[in-house]
Amino acid sequence: MTGTSVDHEIELAYVGIEVPDPASLDGFFGEVIGLLPGDAPHSWRNDRKARRVIVERGEANDVSFLAFEAIDAEAFDRIVARLRSAGFAAVDGEASARNVSRIVQTTAPWGASVEVVLGLEDAATPFESPLMPGGFLTDGVGFGHAVFATTSFDESHRFLVEGLGLCQSDWLEMEVVEGIELEVRFYHCNARHHTVALARAPFDLPQKLHHLMFETNTVDDVGAAFDRAWATDLGIPNGLGRHDNDGMFSFYVASPAGFQVEIGHGAKVITEPWDQDRRYDKISAWGHQALR
């Protein structure tokens, strides 16, 4: 990463997805996105860590948990104390179930379990994916980002900022069609422009998880992933384009479970002091048209 590095306490560790048939996402994560199988059935990795996406059987058809890894024991203790002083529970969990050394669990106001962990285990082998030869950008920034839609927008903002200690990077406010406003707020906890974003939902949507993002190290790996997605019959809600705020060159493919995955490259890096927390009024500088 370039720029003045940000002092950071946490990074995105892993995400849990609950679907009726976990095998229904195997081809999507393995052959379209280019992740490698993790150390548990239907779990996936995008770097040296043993697991980054954990797909489990259940009826939710949505995100079930999201975990943040503390960079050391002191950071872990600070986050637990911060959660509690902000009025959020932080209950000891079962560390062995996640192959971590410490874990606390809380519930995000958008309705998913959130875990703070220490010591996320490395995989036994290096990350080498023939479909993603350049690999993914995760060092010091976690596996990617996650975007949720919620009717509990203000409390979710407070949870991220006062509870977990994330900082707002910027926000998007625009009229998508006459009378319908879109508001999305973007939050960082390290050099990645945003690790979590929240969209204000006008009513409860079928899924809280809008998308997961994986950032590649090379621009060609975005193009090759687009080719693979295009060769399927999966929806492409947004073709190649560049976001206005984080500057990421990316596209979005709809997973068989409905939530989307963004594959991108070249996003803006957070540097300190961060003085670019401002409103944007368009999602994309160019592109990102709905293709199918």
* Residues 6+ positions from 16 with CB-CB distance below 8 Å: 54, 55, 56, 63, 64, 65, 66, 67, 113
Q: How far is the CB of 12 from Fe ion (least distance, A)?
A: 12
Q: 212 to 251, contacts with Fe ion by CB under 5 A?
A: 213
Q: Toward Fe ion, which CB reaches closer, 37 or 247? A: 247
> Least distance to Fe ion from the beta carbon of 242, Å?
12
Query: Encoding tokens for residue 154?
Result: 């203000």
Q: Which is nearer to Fe ion, 189 or 213 (CB)?
A: 213
* 3-class DSSP state of 187: strand
Minimum distance from residue 273 beta carbon to Fe ion (Å): 24
Closest contact distance (angstroms) between CB of 232 and Fe ion is 20
Q: Which is nearer to Fe ion, 99 or 284 (CB)?
A: 284
Structural contact between residues 128 and 120, judged by C-beta atoms closer than 8 angstroms: no
Q: Binding mask 57-96 vs Fe ion (x if CB under 5 A, - otherwise)?
A: ----------------------------------------
> CA–CA separation, 67 vs 113, rounded Å?
8
- Looking at the Cβ atoms of 16 and 144, the one nearer to Fe ion is 144
**Quick one: the chain helix, strand, coil %, rounded to 5?**
20, 40, 45
In the bound state with Fe ion, the residue whose beta carbon lies nearer, of 76 and 143, is: 143
Out of 229, 262, 266, 269, the residue judged to bind Fe ion by CB under 5 A: 262
Given a contact cutoff of 8 angstroms between Cβ atoms, the answer to whether 286 and 237 are in contact is no
Q: How far, in Å, CA of 154 to CA of 55, rounded?
A: 29
Of 62-70, 83-91, 261-269, 276-284, the segment contacting Fe ion by CB under 5 A is 261-269
Containing H/E element for 44?
A: strand 43-45
Q: Give the footprint of Fe ion on residues 185-214 (CB under 5 A).
A: 213
- Give the footprint of Fe ion on this chain (CB under 5 A): 213, 262
